[in-house]
Structure 1
Amino acid sequence: MRYSPLSRFKGTLLGALLGESLAAGGEIQFQSYLNLGRMAVLGTQSLIALGRLDLDDWIGRQQQESLHLAATDDISIEIIIATLPVALFFHENPIKLRQKLLDVLKIWEDDPVVRDGTLAIGYAIAQALTEKLDSLTLIPQIISFIGETPTSIPKNLLIVQSLLEQGAGLSRAEAEFAREEKLSKIIPMAFYCFLSTLEDFRLAVLRATHNGNSQVQDATPLSSQATGVITGALSGAYNGIGGIPVNWQVLHLQKNSPAWGLTSFSQMLKLIDAFVAVWSGVYDITLNLRELTEEGCEVDLLCVYAAARVIRSR
């Protein structure tokens, strides 16, 4: 295995966070315009607490936090980011992955573009985590995974494939999707930035947050950050946390600023560690010690070892 699951899980979620916080010009900004990943954190916490997808628990956590989104575009992007933990948790089984992604989308109003974008990003992340991602075949596989659809997402992804085969530059790609609706442009641009610089997280995210092309009339903070966060998630899943520039990580650790509704960047790292532990089936004996001592006898804490994939929660 090229990178550990922990490295790829961290790469995905921290890549998304850093992709959102990267300002135009390549500087980290600690106060995000939109805080796109708050619902993703709530979903991750639900999966950690229950060890499974429970839509009622997701809804309850969102209601408890009183999440309010100001605009339709904000909602669409945040919904897609909210599904990242589901893509990670169920990445091993494509059939279950597709079903769980569609299940979690039922929480919000059905939007075909959001659905197709979620399936495309979730499938790509799953391919990266299982080390099956091939840049030459990924887009046709994604289109097959999406299935029949009335949206322009498959068509735009095929345009991305054509641009990659031609070696087209960033300006050409931006001009190609300039007339598309925001979400139908953001998703293919994120895939273009990711696949055109497959092994370079830094360059992929810098290109995604680039707003310098004068032909792009709607280069808003939303479109820039949304493209950055999706590109960061995709590239982070593929390259792992080791592919994320150390100085970007250090800046966040030194500042230790709130991240996606959490109190600090350190808390985000601990959340991901707990998430990977639950996914892998790790049993926290300290949380269940009462069950072992309910008869009033002392029990020595034991370390249990097993071969990979032997002890699992699913």
Structure 2
Amino acid sequence: MRYSPISRFKGTLLGAFLGGSLASGGEIQFQSYLDLGKMAVLGTQSLIALGRLDLDDWIRRQQEQSLHLAATDDTSIKIIIATLPVALFFHENPIKLRQNLLRVLNIWKDDPVVRDGTLAVAYAIALALTEKLDPLTLIPQTIAFIGETPTSIPKKLLRVQNLLAQGVGLSRAQAEFAREEKLSNTIAMAFYCFLSTLEDFRLAVLQATYNNNSQVLDATPLSSKATGAITGALSGAYNGISGIPVNWQVLLLQSNPPVWGLTSFSQMLQLTDAFVAVWSGVYDLTLNPRELAEEGCEAVLLSVYAAPRVIRLR
């Protein structure tokens, strides 16, 4: 395996955070769109607590935090980021992945573009985590995973593939996807930035957040953040946390800023560690110390690690 699951899990979530925090020119702005992934954190906490997907628990946690999505421009991107924990938790099984993504999407409005964008991003992440992502076949496979749909996302993904085959540069790609449906354009640009710089996380997110092209009509801060967040998640899943520039990681560790509703960046790392533990089937003996202790003896506090599909809950 090229990168460990924990590296790819952390790369996905940290990549989405960094991609959504970059300003044009590569400057990290920690105070920008802090709530972009707040629902993703709540979903992760639910999966950790229950070891399975429970929509009622997701809804309860959102209500407790007063996270009621209004019909605003950033609603769609927040929903896609919110489904990242589901993409990670069920990435090994495409059937369960699709079923559970559609279940989670039922929490919010039934928007075909949001649905197709979510399926596209999640499937690409799943292929990256299982090391089955081939840049030459990713887009056709993703379109097949989406299935028949009235939205323009499959056509725009095919357009991305054609642009990449032609070696088209960033400026032309931005001009190509600067009109009509904003979310479908965001998904297309994220796939372009990711696939055009497959092995370079830094360059991928810098491309995604670059908006100084005068031909780009909708280069707003929000669209830049959205494209950066999705590109960061895709590239982070593929390159792992080791692919994220060390100086960016050091900056995060030193400044330890709030992350998506959490009090600090270090808290996000701890949350991801716990998430990977639950996914992998780690048995926490501290929860049931007597089960492996001899009568009259103190329990030795250990954690038992199992291979995937052995003792993991679903």
TM-score by length of 2: 0.96
> What do residues 70-109 of structure 1 show as CA deviations (whole Å, max 9, x unaligned)?
5522111100000000000000000010000001000001
For residue 212 of structure 2, what is the aligned residue in structure 1?
212
For residue 96 of structure 1, what is the aligned residue in structure 2?
96
Report if aligned partners of 1:39, 1:82 keep a CA contact under 8 Å in 2. Answer: yes
1:66 is aligned to 2:66: yes
For residue 166 of structure 2, what is the aligned residue in structure 1?
166
> What pairs with 1:33-72 in structure 2 (closer than 5 Å)?
33=33, 35-69=35-69, 71-72=71-72
Report if aligned partners of 1:292, 1:299 keep a CA contact under 8 Å in 2. Answer: no
- For residue 303 of structure 1, report the CA deviation from its aligned partner: 4.7
For residue 113 of structure 1, what is the aligned residue in structure 2?
113
For residue 296 of structure 2, what is the aligned residue in structure 1?
297
| TM-aligned CA distance change 1:260 to 1:304, over 3 Å | closer
Identity of aligned residues (%): 81
- For residue 296 of structure 1, report the CA deviation from its aligned partner: 7.4
Q: CA RMSD in A?
A: 1.7
Structure 2 residue runs of 5 or longer lacking an equivalent are: none
Cα distance between partner residues in 1 of 2:103 and 2:298 = 42
Report if aligned partners of 1:73, 1:183 keep a CA contact under 8 Å in 2. Answer: no
Cα distance between partner residues in 1 of 2:240 and 2:53 = 25
Cα distance between partner residues in 1 of 2:84 and 2:298 = 39
- For residue 182 of structure 1, report the CA deviation from its aligned partner: 1.1
Which amino acid letter does the alignment assign opposite residue 198 of structure 1?
Answer: L
For residue 264 of structure 2, what is the aligned residue in structure 1?
264
- Which segment drifts farther, 107-116 or 212-221? 212-221
SS at match of 2:74: helix
SS at match of 1:116: helix
Report if aligned partners of 2:283, 2:303 keep a CA contact under 8 Å in 1. Answer: no
Cα distance between partner residues in 1 of 2:37 and 2:304 = 35
Cα distance between partner residues in 2 of 1:81 and 1:73 = 14
> What pairs with 1:138-157 in structure 2 (closer than 5 Å)?
138-157=138-157
SS at match of 2:127: helix
Cα distance between partner residues in 1 of 2:33 and 2:271 = 23
SS at match of 1:171: helix
- For residue 298 of structure 1, report the CA deviation from its aligned partner: 2.9
SS at match of 2:100: helix
| TM-aligned CA distance change 1:257 to 1:303, over 3 Å | closer
| TM-aligned CA distance change 1:254 to 1:302, over 3 Å | closer
Which amino acid letter does the alignment assign opposite residue 174 of structure 2?
Answer: E
Cα distance between partner residues in 2 of 1:298 and 1:104 = 45
Structure 1 residue runs of 5 or longer lacking an equivalent are: none
- Which segment drifts farther, 73-82 or 29-38? 29-38
For residue 195 of structure 1, what is the aligned residue in structure 2?
195
| Residue correspondences, number | 313
